[in-house]
Chains A and B, each alone.
Chain A
Amino acid sequence: MSRIWIPVLALALSAALPELAHACPVCFDASDENRRAFVATTALLSLLPLGMVAGAGLWLRRRVRRTEAGGRSEPSRD
């Protein structure tokens, strides 16, 4: 006897009993203000380190180019 009907029945039952999962406060919060704050702070904390690393990289690249072009990399009084 084939037991294929067991997962099919389980799938049908789970599809017939939908339930909202309000686990994520970013996606499912009653307050718009709170949701916006979560999204904004998530973006801030994700992008800030990337931005700082990118900024440092660009700054170093500019210094390398300036040094190669004959400019000085550091003030002479050291």
Chain B
Amino acid sequence: MSRDGVTAGSAAYAIEPRPEPRPRPKLVSDGVLGMLAFIFTEVMFFAGLVSAHAIVRSQAAGAMWPPYGQPRLPVQETAVNTAALLVSGIVLVLTWLAFRREPSSARIPLLLSILLGAIFVWFQGLEWVALLAEGLTIRSSSYGGFFYLIVGAHALHAVAALVALAWAWLRLDRKRLTATQLATVSAFWYFVVLVWPVLYVKVYL
């Protein structure tokens, strides 16, 4: 057997050299793929929390929910806050469109999106302070425990995503932000925005 062919008996068969594979274009950037994998795990994390909350709440079906003596959650105020968060997500979509046209034109919408997100986190914090003053703590009941666990976990994600968006804005300001970087941090913020209405309906209503 030679290097370029196979000898079988007296006949020699030449092996055609294999053509070089064409380089395939990347379908998803590494950053977005990694963020999507992270978001998948976080979706399951929140699904687990919501499920546990639903079970505990159903066990109190005969009794009152919220339990007697526990303060009621501010449904209307949080609805307004939810609207601010949703608008922030919409503005981030506009940011992406503006970035694709001309990167520098995305500065204002990105800043607006960050501000709306910060308003959401700020008013959630104020709500926590008021509820703590009314006696709802993480140890006061399973109602309080689930409220602070679920809403607190979301707030933690919101703060982390806001830090990522602020980092993106600084890079954009220095003209160093790439489309991949913006898509990656945007995916994180979209997750924070889209998971909140589910949590609001399950926890507040």
Q: Mark A residues whose CB is within 8 Å of B.
A: 31, 33-34, 36-38, 40-41, 44-45, 48-49, 52, 56, 60, 63-64, 67, 73-78
Contacts and interface: CB of A to CB of B under 8 A. Distances in A.
Interface stretch (B6-14, B49-57, B82-90, B133-141): B49-57
B5 interface: no
Given A52-B40, A78-B178, A78-B180, A67 B51 contact: no
Contacts of B59: 31, 34
Interface of B: 25-29, 36, 40, 43-44, 47-48, 50-51, 54-55, 57-59, 61-62, 99-100, 103, 178-180, 183
A28 to B, nearest CB: 15
A74 B55 CA distance: 43
Contact of A67 (B25, B40, B180, B183): B25
A37 B55 contact: yes
B55 A44 contact: no
